[in-house]
Amino acid sequence: MNDSPGAESFADTKRREQITNPQSQIVHYPADEPLPLDCGGALAPLSIAYQTYGTLNADKSNLVLVCHALTGDQHAANLHPLTGKPGWWDTMVGSGKPIDTDRYFVLCPNVIGGCMGTTGPSSMNPETGRPYGPDFPVITVRDMVRAQARLLDHLGIDQVLCVLGGSMGGMQVLEWAATYKDRVFSAVPIACAARHSSQNIAFHEVGRQAVMADPDWCQGRYLEEGRSPRKGLAVARMAAHITYLSDAALHDKFGRNLQDRDKVTFGFDADFQVESYLRHQGMTFVDRFDANSYLYITRAMDYFDIAADHGGVLANAFAGTKTRFCLVSFTSDWLFPTEESREVVHALNAVAAKVSFVEIKSNKGHDAFLLQEPELFDTVRGFLTAAARRRGVEGAQGWLP
Amino acid sequence: MVKPGSRVLDIGCGDGTLLRLLAEKRDVDGRGIELSQAGVNSCVTQGLAVIQGDADTDLEYYPDLAFDYAILSQTIQATYSPRHVLEQLLRIGKHAVVSFPNFGHWKVRAQLMFGGKMPRTPNLPESWSDTPNIHLCTIKDFLDLCDDIGAKVERAVVLNASGTKLVSMPLFAQNLFGEQAVFLLSR
């Protein structure tokens, strides 16, 4: 490790520790229990890192599964081991919060392809003794869910009370409801879609190209070379971050305000506050996320298309389902607009599923599901309580929403 | 009017009172559509399957005959296209149940005739500039519409403002003394 710009940094070393030795609970599946993958291959050995909050009740009926999004991880409601910041869903998960850890046993696993302890491209390939890198198989959202199902088997859970998630987390919820119908009592897909649109794919492609254009990416073998494609990944993050915010909110927050100066410098420094903000977003991201993971997970989202897996008709995916659904979208989310959620609602109506749908007024864009949104909290709290009562979770009859 | 154990869609379900009642008393498999966020939230909190939507535009997404009963309670007079909404109801449900305030009631006629102002009654409490009611009608008007679109009236119940059924009487009397009307329709 030296001081040249593209070399691995101390932050990289700290981050890599989480791959092999995460601050999480972890399950290891040996080489003779491979996880079959949609690409035709298999993953073995497989490790799944996860966090839990709350207590599992006696008849195992209060388990709530939380699925994280593209750049999230299993640390939904605890301080992040690398950044020290509160968990990504600290707003929703905790004692007395909508996903109440006093009532429910909350499980949040790291997805395969990730970099916080579950097997991913930065994990050790047993056949070579070196990190997988670009040899890691291309995984899908269904593969992620398949791995989670295996984790549930390991914990002795047959049916979960509820699966919830936003963005890619919401995609996993839909995949759960389509593929493991009997294992999902209720589902809350938030700010998501049944497939990535052309525009969504385009944005992800820009991000991937930025990573792969970084000379320190080394065709994906940067770990072996002791280098780190930080700049490329930071740019990818900057571009993606813009898609998570609304035009109005961005303007409200920054406008054309200048960063610590009275006038523009006629140069390419971060003159505007919004530039400084984005650069900061990029720099902090690379300290906690692996470049190859970014490639693999964005790819999984691009490949996601539930209707295509079921003869091109979305309704077919949910035929015969008894799961109770509650879809949530946000008015200023232009990455996964309300129309996408409505399409899923229509498909569910067509198969007579029990579905609720709420569009929440917010100017916070796609990121709204991570932020202080009282309507979201009320909806989730109410829906979960009702589901718990319906399922007969012990004590739930006395719970006020 | 609603048989036990049937599938019901309550359009304009408000805070879910009717849906909950039907579920508890008639073991109904119910769904709802409601325009207001507050209403939808209230319903979701009670465990009801309710989606946020507009009766004028969102009924087309339901498949034909998806429900035994499509209920439109005290809402038709607030829709932009009552004829279109009524047709959708009869497409979606084997039966439609429609209730509305009767603009032909004698109190309404009296206030207009003698007061010269738009009527305000227990069933029509808002002032003309504040009310969501943009397509008011009388019982006779409604019957004409049903005739026009080929809907069959299976049952008609006429009520006073507090919901008490009025004894059976000829049409002109229903139109004079009924403050609310409930119709069971089919095609």
Under the banding of pLDDT at 50, 70 and 90, the label for residue A3 is low
Annotated catalytic residue within A100, A290, A333, A367: A333
Instruction: Tell me what pLDDT residue B170 has.
Output: 86
Contact B31/A354, CB-based, under 8 Å?
yes
The pTM assigned to this predicted structure is 0.91
What percent of chain A is predicted at pLDDT more than 90? 87
Contact A357/B61, CB-based, under 8 Å?
no
**Chain B residue nearest residue A375, CA to CA:** B41
Which tokens sit at B9? Answer: 């869609």
Which tokens sit at A368? Answer: 């709204």
Of A349, A375, A389, the CB nearest to B37: A375
Annotated catalytic residue within A24, A61, A167, A341: A167
Instruction: Tell me what pLDDT residue A397 has.
Output: 83
Region for A156 from its dihedrals, namely left if φ exceeds 0, alpha if ψ lies in -120 to 50, beta otherwise: left
Active site residue A167: yes
Q: Which residues of A touch B41 (CB under 8 A)?
A: 358, 375, 378-379, 382
Of A349, A359, A383, the CB nearest to B52: A359
Element (H, E) at B77: none
Q: Say how many domains are in chain B.
A: 1
Contact A352/B7, CB-based, under 8 Å?
yes
Q: How far apart are the CA of B88 and the nearest CA of chain A, in angstroms?
A: 15
**Chain A residue nearest residue B59, CA to CA:** A346
For residues A280-301, average pLDDT: 96
Instruction: Tell me what pLDDT residue B42 has.
Output: 86
CB neighbourhood size of A299 (10 A): 18
Q: Using CA atoms in the order A221, A223, A228, A229, what is the torsion angle rounded to 10 degrees? A: 30
The C-alpha atoms of residue B19 and residue A25 are separated, in whole angstroms, by 44
**pLDDT greater than 90 at residue A81:** yes
For residues A66-92, average pLDDT: 96
Of B51, B61, B66, the CB nearest to A352: B66
**pLDDT greater than 60 at residue A1:** no
Contact A378/B41, CB-based, under 8 Å?
yes
CATH number for the domain that contains residue B48: 3.40.50.150
- Tens of pLDDT, residue by residue over A151-178, are 999 999 999 999 999 999 999 999 999 9
Q: Which distant-in-sequence residues (6+ apart) come within 8 Å of A295 by Cβ?
A: A121, A208, A211, A212, A220
Under the banding of pLDDT at 50, 70 and 90, the label for residue A191 is very high
B→A contacts (Cβ < 8 Å), by residue, are 7, 31, 37, 40-41, 43-53, 61-63, 66
SS (H, E, C) chain A: CCCCCCECCHHHHHHHHHHHCCCCEEEEECCCCCEECCCCCEECCEEEEEEEECCCCCCCCCEEEEECCCCCCCCCCCCCCCCCCCCCCCCCEECCCCEECCCCEEEEECCCCCCCCCCCCCCEECCCCEECHHHCCCCCHHHHHHHHHHHHHHCCCCCECEEEEECHHHHHHHHHHHHCHHHECEEEEECCCCECCHHHHHHHHHHHHHHHHCHHHHHHCHHHHCECCHHHHHHHHHHHHHHHCCHHHHHHHHCCCECCCCCCCCCCCCCEHHHHHHHHHHHHHHCCCCHHHHHHHHHHHHHCECCHHHCCCHHHHCCCCCCEEEEEEECCCCCCCHHHHHHHHHHHHHCCCEEEEEEECCCCHHHHHHCCCHHHHHHHHHHHHHHHHHHCCCCHHHCCC
Under the banding of pLDDT at 50, 70 and 90, the label for residue A2 is low
The C-alpha atoms of residue A334 and residue B42 are separated, in whole angstroms, by 27
Q: Which residues of B touch A346 (CB under 8 A)?
A: 61
**pLDDT greater than 80 at residue A242:** yes
Instruction: Tell me what pLDDT residue A144 has.
Output: 98
- Tens of pLDDT, residue by residue over B92-150, are 999 999 999 999 999 999 999 999 999 998 888 999 999 989 999 999 999 999 999 99
Coil vs helix vs strand at B19 = helix
SS (H, E, C) B116-168: CCCCCCCCCCCCCCCCCCCCCECHHHHHHHHHHHCCEEEEEEEECCCCCECCC
The C-alpha atoms of residue A77 and residue A97 are separated, in whole angstroms, by 11
Mean pLDDT over the full length of chain B: 92
Mean pLDDT over the full length of chain A: 94
DSSP state of B102: B
Coil vs helix vs strand at B104 = coil
Q: Are A233 and A211 in contact (CB under 8 A)?
A: yes
Which tokens sit at A251? Answer: 């303007």
- Evaluate whether ipTM surpasses 0.85: no
Q: How far apart are the CA of A338 and the nearest CA of chain B, in angstroms?
A: 11
User: Nearest to residue B54, comparing CAs of B73, B29, B80?
Assistant: B80
Interface mutation target, options B40, B44, B67, B68, chain A, most CBs of A under 10 Å:
B44
Contact A349/B40, CB-based, under 8 Å?
no
DSSP state of B2: P
Interface mutation target, options B52, B62, B64, B65, chain A, most CBs of A under 10 Å:
B52
Instruction: Report if residue B2 sits inside a domain.
Output: no
Under the banding of pLDDT at 50, 70 and 90, the label for residue A238 is very high
Q: Are B185 and B146 in contact (CB under 8 A)?
A: yes
Q: Which distant-in-sequence residues (6+ apart) come within 8 Å of B98 by Cβ?
A: B71, B72, B73, B76, B86, B89, B142, B182, B183, B185
Most confident range (mean pLDDT) of A8-17, A263-272, A347-356, A364-373 is: A364-373
Q: How far apart are the CA of A400 and the nearest CA of chain B, in angstroms?
A: 10
Q: How far apart are the CA of A353 and the nearest CA of chain B, in angstroms?
A: 9
Domain range for B61: 7-186
Instruction: Tell me what pLDDT residue B168 has.
Output: 80
**pLDDT greater than 90 at residue A344:** yes
Contact A385/B45, CB-based, under 8 Å?
yes
Q: How far apart are the CA of A43 and the nearest CA of chain B, in angstroms?
A: 39
Architecture of domain A17-197+305-398: 3-Layer(aba) Sandwich (3.40)
**Chain A residue nearest residue B40, CA to CA:** A358
Instruction: Tell me what pLDDT residue B51 has.
Output: 93
**pLDDT greater than 60 at residue A219:** yes
Under the banding of pLDDT at 50, 70 and 90, the label for residue B11 is very high
Domain layout of chain A by residue ranges:
17-197+305-398
**pLDDT greater than 90 at residue A115:** yes
Instruction: Report if residue B157 sits inside a domain.
Output: yes
For residues A280-298, average pLDDT: 95
Active site residue A143: no
Q: Are B29 and B90 in contact (CB under 8 A)?
A: no
A60-69, A206-215, A270-279, range with the lowest pLDDT: A270-279
Chains A and B form CB pairs within 8 A to the count of 66
Of B7, B49, B63, the CB nearest to A356: B49
**pLDDT greater than 60 at residue A68:** yes
